[in-house]
A and B are shown apart, each in its own frame.
Chain A
């Protein structure tokens, strides 16, 4: 008698403790998350918008499996607990053709749907694809250095370090390379990432919906100062962009090959800088830096085939 009373009060204590722990966990999450910006779920650009939709669709499809799993797990475990002698016990039960067909079949259908979505979205959101727009695109060449980002506006002969100013609602066409260990260029509010690699030029396009400041980073370690490789993308109106270009063209800093080589020296915490580009074809020289000595073994890697280079490299690897 006393024993069973003790057991009941222990049960009550268990329920109270576990609810308190549950509440504390939820509370901790709310406290730590509330009011923070989540650029992946709160995108500000046409590409990131589509990626967000894609993420939500995937979660939605996944829920069709996850929810039944959780319900079945707890319902069956509770129903067939050892204390419940009323439940049927059938130790020889080996399986069920029908049930097994159901759970080979339903995930198969879900994955089939997801596969179709994948095929479509992967092509639609191929980072190499340009954004169609009535506005003329702005070209930017991106170079990952140790440990800062160099952005070159080839048509305007302007370059910046650790910040990127862009006109809103205008396609930005990026060519990305590195003069450093591999980096990954990522501005979560605008578009997913692409690697920045030496001797190679990868592509990415994005377009901001509105003026604003969006943080970018390198998502791949590139040595001691990797964490310093964050930068700001400033989306401004088209007029402000022209103003900025005009102002920048009077910058006292000149970027020639010589100054570039100084800039490329490893350094941390560089801050933002603006340059007028005087060097010719700087970006291609940076890519080619890693090519010349090995040109005989890699005949396809030259600047003219810049945009197809990556695909060829991959095919050269037997894939």
Chain B
């Protein structure tokens, strides 16, 4: 039995009511989805159009769908956490046990960063970047598919504890020794490690892919200094991924060795050092923040320029600021643990480096604001997200600078003040950015707009919710409330603020409902919302193609002469130009290997977690063999004949 199932026993499927409920709901939804696909006979469609597709537009949509589902899950986690803190075990009512509470905040953080924020960023990269650069595809289409399915496998692994086993209770960064064998012998930390490890390798591959895409796949004439700022921000972000994610991979591997074969890298005895882990994980973790926020900066740069009807203010400054942030983000990791006792000189260095990042970031804020100067500002939903972002991000910047002073940080570290700060940055920065991107680029891929009224209602609900949810946490920090506590002494009088914070989450939930309603309503009324290829009077190349774009995107690759290439085309009245004749286009064929590798990686992850060694070897062999076969295949491209393109372009032009 043990050889067959490792340490898996029937007992591991037994859960307390809340977790069991969530698990049953998840499995139920999955069964329902499978049944629906079978009933409507859509398996073939799903397989050919989505699962095996190497089209970045399709992969991008899959990233975004997975991330939205995970956003809902992480949101549910947040609701449970606050509910527990509001009730605070009063009258013996315990919503969550301590252990369960700790599993949930660990899950909340890990899921929101890795499977929501990262997924959304990669989704936007896939959808926007190639087109914005005037390219039909990414540099390595097959690799792109592998990346997505590894991300997907990681997502499944992090959700598996809902059904079998337990989640890690060691926080989203799993500091040892708490995450070591001594204090955490169960499967929770292993799930966490292997989910992140597998998804992280996917992220690394994606980072390489987009970095190369930006450098090598730009349309002729598009020099680096003619790239849209979003592409610049993606270049910074992917450069960070390439340098930071290998650190994560190694750190997780070492922690895993500690747990699997009893090495002592991070243990408390035999010369292990937990401090080493904390340094390594933040050497990845701090750049990770900028991996997420740089693309959001890029999105807002595009949004503010488009809706001001004007060139971005200070392009060169913006580029320099992105480069500065990219480099500096590797020099500040120690500010996450000034309290370790590293000594005044070390703390001073990292404190000052941290403050210096505020300078390029501040420059960007002023440039964004002055992009509106002498413009014609249209307050569409993306623009509201932009305004909200500037306000929340500036406050988050201020609280960030407050914590960058080491001696002051001793009073903020690991308090709810810190929690408020990073939510300020990640929600107000990354999430607001992606929301702006979603509304802005939605018509590009669907041919119809999202309903503006519902979008604005969503924005205001989110903004009110945001103030109510995170404002109290700053105050609680000043009161000495620490993060991650499942109960507190009622005589402290903290309950009121937790209630306000809870109400804030409900408002944010209302915002989410408005957003879901917005999408549903817009799809339902898509005829009324239908628009042409350039609904916002935009500036960059992705708007030069048809809406929704053809599989080949550009019938002929455009030649770029200036920044804001599409704006220039419109000025020169060249948008309707059609070439004399078309040429054949070669696009990658569908490949099933990416999916197979992802699923084998999923099995591999589960096998390590449960110590099922035979399965581990089998799945690893599958990954290797499939990859070798896939990479030696020659017949990977399909031809779209020129006549077909001519027909298609004519059809689109006449509609």
Tell me the A residues contacting B by CB distance below 8 Å.
21, 25, 28-29, 31-33, 35-41, 48, 50-52, 54-55, 58-59, 62-63, 65-66, 69-70, 72-73, 76-77, 80-82, 87-96, 99-100, 103-104, 107-108, 111, 114-115, 117-119, 121-128, 181-182, 184, 186, 188-189, 191-195, 197-199, 202-203, 215, 217-227, 230, 290, 293-294, 297-298, 310-311, 313-314, 317, 319
Additional A-B contacts beyond A65-B362, A107-B359 (19; CB < 8 A):
A29-B472, A31-B496, A40-B411, A40-B477, A40-B479, A51-B408, A72-B366, A90-B374, A95-B313, A123-B348, A127-B341, A182-B175, A188-B411, A197-B275, A198-B274, A215-B489, A224-B169, A227-B486, A297-B270
Can you list 18 A-B pairs, Cβ within 8 angstroms, ordered by A? A28-B503, A36-B479, A48-B411, A63-B398, A69-B390, A92-B311, A93-B313, A107-B362, A111-B359, A118-B352, A125-B410, A181-B183, A194-B341, A199-B268, A199-B269, A202-B341, A220-B175, A314-B342
Report the bound CA distance from A297 to B352 in whole Å: 34
Stretch at the interface among B221-229, B399-407, B440-448: B399-407
Taking CB atoms, residues of chain B closer than 8 Å to A87 are 374
Q: Kindly specify which of B14-22, B375-383, B523-531, B588-596 makes contact with the partner chain.
A: B375-383
Identity of the chain B residue whose Cβ is nearest the Cβ of A199 in the assembled complex:
B268
B372 near A186 with CB under 8 A, answer no
Interface centre among B99, B264, B374 (most CB of A within 10 A): B374
What number of A-B contacts does a CB cutoff of 8 Å give?
324
Q: Are A294 and B374 in contact (CB under 8 A)?
A: no
Tally B residues with Cβ within 8 Å of A.
109
> In the bound complex, do residue A114 and residue B355 qualify as a contact, i.e. CB atoms below 8 Å apart?
yes
CA of A33 to CA of B498, assembled, Å: 11
A32-B314 in contact given A89-B374, A203-B341, A311-B343 (Cβ < 8 Å) = no
Q: What A residues does B359 contact at CB under 8 A? A: 104, 107-108, 111
Residues of the A chain whose Cβ atoms lie less than 8 Å from the Cβ of B317: 95, 100, 104
CB distance from B556 to the nearest CB of A (A): 28
CB-nearest residue of chain A to B341? A202
The answer to whether B411 touches A227, judged by C-beta atoms less than 8 angstroms apart, is: no
List the A residue with the shortest CB-CB distance to B417.
Answer: A40
Q: Mark B450-480, 1 if CB is under 8 A from A, else 0.
A: 0000000000000010011001100101111
- Beyond A114-B355, A194-B341, whether A33 also contacts B348 by CB under 8 A is no
Please give, as numbers and ranges, the residues of chain A lying within 8 Å of B503 by CB-CB distance. 28
A residues near B376, Cβ cutoff 8 Å: 80, 82, 89
A194 touches B177 (CB 8 A): no
Given contacts A40-B477, A73-B390, contact A58 B341 (CB under 8 A): no
Decide: A69 and B99 in contact? CB cutoff 8 A. no
Alpha-carbon distance A89/B308, docked complex (angstroms) = 10
Instruction: A21 to B457: give the CA distance in the assembly, Å.
Output: 14
- Nearest CB of chain B from residue A6's CB, rounded to whole Å: 15
Residues of A within 8 A of B390 (CB): 69, 73
List, in ascending order, chain B residues with CB within 8 A of A52's CB. Answer: 411
Given contacts A29-B500, A314-B346, contact A192 B409 (CB under 8 A): yes
Decide if B472 touches A77 in the complex (CB within 8 Å). no
Q: Does B394 have its Cβ within 8 Å of any Cβ on chain A? A: yes
- Give, as a whole number of angstroms, the nearest-CB distance from B384 to chain A: 11
Whether, in the assembled complex, B351 has its beta carbon less than 8 Å from a beta carbon of chain A, the answer is: yes
Closest CB-CB distance, B80 to chain A, in whole Å? 16
User: Is the C-beta of B136 less than 8 angstroms from some C-beta in chain A?
Assistant: no
Q: Is A29's CB under 8 angstroms from B310's CB?
A: no
CB closest chain-A residue, reference B406: A122
- Across the interface, which residues of A come within 8 angstroms of B394, CB to CB? 65-66, 69-70
Residues from chain A with Cβ under 8 Å of B480 in the complex: 38-40, 186, 188-189, 215, 217
With a cutoff of 8 Å between Cβ atoms, the chain B residues found around residue A202 in the complex are 340-341
- Interchain residue pairs A-B with the least CB separation, the first 8: A192-B410, A32-B496, A297-B271, A125-B407, A181-B178, A294-B271, A188-B480, A219-B414
